[in-house]
Chains A and B, each alone.
Chain A
Amino acid sequence: MIEKKEKKGVGNLRDEIQKGKGVDIGTMFVKCAQKESEEIVFRTQRNAFFEVEHTDFTKKILDNSKVKYIIKEDKLYVVGDEALEFANMFNKETRRPLSRGVISPIEKEALPMVELLIKSVVGEPTYNREIVYFSVPGEPVDADFNIVYHIKMIEGFLKTLGYTPKPINEGHAIILSELAEEDFTGIGLSFGGGMVNVCLSFMSVPIFMFSVTKAGDWVDQQVAMAVDETASRVSAIKESSFDLSKEKDLNKIESALSIYYNHLIEYVIENIKQEFDKTRRMPRVVKPITIVLSGGSSLPQGFSHRFKQILNQLKLPVPVGEVRMASQPLRSVAKGALVAASADESRK
């Protein structure tokens, strides 16, 4: 593979592209991280699609406007960020190949769609059987499904592409990306679209990992129902201008978003407390633990402040030190997976 590129005169890619890739397979985005020279390159696709009328004219318009699409049989789907724009334009909802963190069981186009999106970000392996770590959610504590099928399908597909795939828990990946200074000890929280993933790690060893199925999409849906809007429109507002630190002059949607964000944060913290209760005995941690917040649903301004406020009221059964946002909340899962892949590759 790499040899082919060299023959084509791309240059000595073997020296520039370093072995190992990390992929974040989230409900909202698929993102691949790869190290090239002194930089980390992230390739991203939004995990959403929207069906439009399939005519040659539409296809031509989309091609000319550089709007991504997928055609399956007689259906034409707009894919990516534009799917959200189209949905808002038609006052409808986007469709998702992933739901609540796993391949959607109710979406019949899910598997080929996910495969195409993954393939477009990971590309071909740089070397045969290159190691790729892909993110997986923790077992949900509030839903009656497990993640085995999802993991096996993604793993199998990456093998088909020529990789050596290895799963990594989403929360654990955040810890590898953000908590090196703390010897990988702390709590990593990923507020995604379909799930919130939590991992408590001690010296890089996960103590507990779990997920809850209330997350960004849940907030959008609750707000949409409360104010009679579409979830896609709520999501667009949430992503573009919503500010959780704003307390006055909130419109109806902002007020509802603020209420449901509060509910979501409290729900997550209460579940963490329950998980501590279940483990009964805590490992001996000398210093107060650091909490890192990450994921697309943690992006609104004021999120970490709101989280700290609620945490101060609810309190965890361990001393908490710093609560901080990840350096790049949308990239930390892929970056953490890349840390694991690079470590594995360099041991070969």
Chain B
Amino acid sequence: MLSGTEADIINCVARLKETTKGQIRRQVGFSLDYIGFLCRYLVRKGYLRFVKGHYSLSKEGIKSLLSQEEPKIDRELLKEIAGGVAKEISDELKKTVKSIKIPVKNIKEKKEIGRQEPVKIKTDFEFPVEDESLILESNINKIGTNLEKEKSNIEKSVKLFKKIQNGRKKK
């Protein structure tokens, strides 16, 4: 069973045919990281394919989604896609329509009303920050800082965090 957001991503990819993570994020919401995480999950589950930075519905995905009772999926849209293809190809191919990649280029994007995404700033202004503290006279270094120590217990967290991040990168 797909979650609401996963279903939204499937519907979004179906509408846009081939789309980037950023485009999905603009349609569905949430952070880019989280959308990337879900997309990779959907690729792993076989619903989506990921080629050259673009996500599209996989033929297995369409086949599987049409055969499932998946309430959150826009079945009408999927049927429309399947129907359009079916007209273009022969009856023989129609029988195997579930196992081929279905073009979705004629499907118009459904615009969500009332949601305006904030503009994302992509450029960066890097500048050297001078050490203004050099003009200060102080005895802080002479006296030192407050020092506390505790037995380290972060190894497990570091390992797990790395594992999760590496897993995401591999996918």
Q: Which residue of A lies closest to B162 (CB)?
A: A343
Chain B residue total in the interface (Cβ 8 A): 46
Indicate if the CB atoms of B165 and A207 lie closer than 8 Å.
no
Q: Is B158 an interface residue (CB 8 A)?
A: yes
Q: Is A347 an interface residue (CB 8 A)?
A: yes
Distance to closest chain A CB from B48 (angstroms): 17
Contacts of A308 in B (CB 8 A): none
Mark the stretch among A60-68, A87-95, A256-264, A314-322 that contacts chain B: A60-68
Q: Does B29 contact A (CB under 8 A)?
A: yes
Chain B contacts for A157, CB-based, 8 A:
129, 131
| CA distance in complex: A245, B135 (Å) | 47
Q: Is B8 an interface residue (CB 8 A)?
A: yes
* Interface residue from A42, A79, A161, A335 paired with B149 (Cβ < 8 Å): A42
A43-B146, A121-B145 are contacts. A279–B29 as well, Cβ < 8 Å? yes
**Nearest residue, chain B, Cβ from A35:** B152
Bound-complex Cα distance A116 to B130 (A): 12
Is the CB of A56 closer than 8 A to any CB of chain B? no
Q: How far is the CA of A327 from the CA of B5 in the complex (A)?
A: 34
Contacts of B4 in A (CB 8 A): 281-282
B106 within 8 A of A: no
Contact B34 A115 (CB under 8 A): no
Among residues of B, the one whose C-beta sits closest to the C-beta of A117 is B140
Which residue in B34, B154, B160, B162 is a CB contact (below 8 Å) of A35?
B154
B residues contacting A by CB (< 8 A) are: 3-6, 8, 29-31, 33-34, 37-38, 125-133, 135-141, 143, 145-152, 154, 156-158, 160-162, 164-165
20 pairs, A vs B, C-beta closer than 8 Å: A39-B151, A40-B149, A70-B136, A72-B136, A72-B137, A79-B140, A116-B136, A119-B131, A120-B140, A156-B126, A156-B127, A160-B128, A160-B129, A160-B130, A205-B33, A207-B31, A283-B5, A338-B154, A343-B161, A346-B162
